[in-house]
Structure 1
Amino acid sequence: MLALFALQGIVEIVIMLSLWASCYPDLEHRLASLALGLFLSVNVLALDCGLQTLP
């Protein structure tokens, strides 16, 4: 799970850098979507970690 989260972060950073370099007109909305996606992924990781620690 952590590897997939890291891969998601790396891919999103590469996409954001390429969009920024090409002067993408709707970068603010894309950034909001990125932040929401990463926030939800962190929540899924926390839930998964919490479930694994239950007896």
Structure 2
Amino acid sequence: MYQTWAEDDSFGIAGGGFPINVQGQVLGAICVSGLVQEEDHQIVTEAIANIKAIQHI
């Protein structure tokens, strides 16, 4: 999936955004902005990990 986006000039690849995939379907995305890319991305991945832990996914 990433390879397709990397070759498409209409997409910007940056930290802070994360697609929500369920059974191979992209249903949405979580995005954070305002910090440096690495910190934006860390907030997103921590939030997803916390949700998964609460829901026992």
State the TM-score, normalized to the length of structure 2.
0.38
More strand as a share of residues: 2
More helix as a share of residues: 1
Instruction: With a CA cutoff of 8 Å and minimum separation of 6, indicate the structure with the bigger relative contact order.
Output: 1
Higher Cα Rg: structure 1 or 2?
Answer: 1
State the TM-score, normalized to the length of structure 1.
0.40
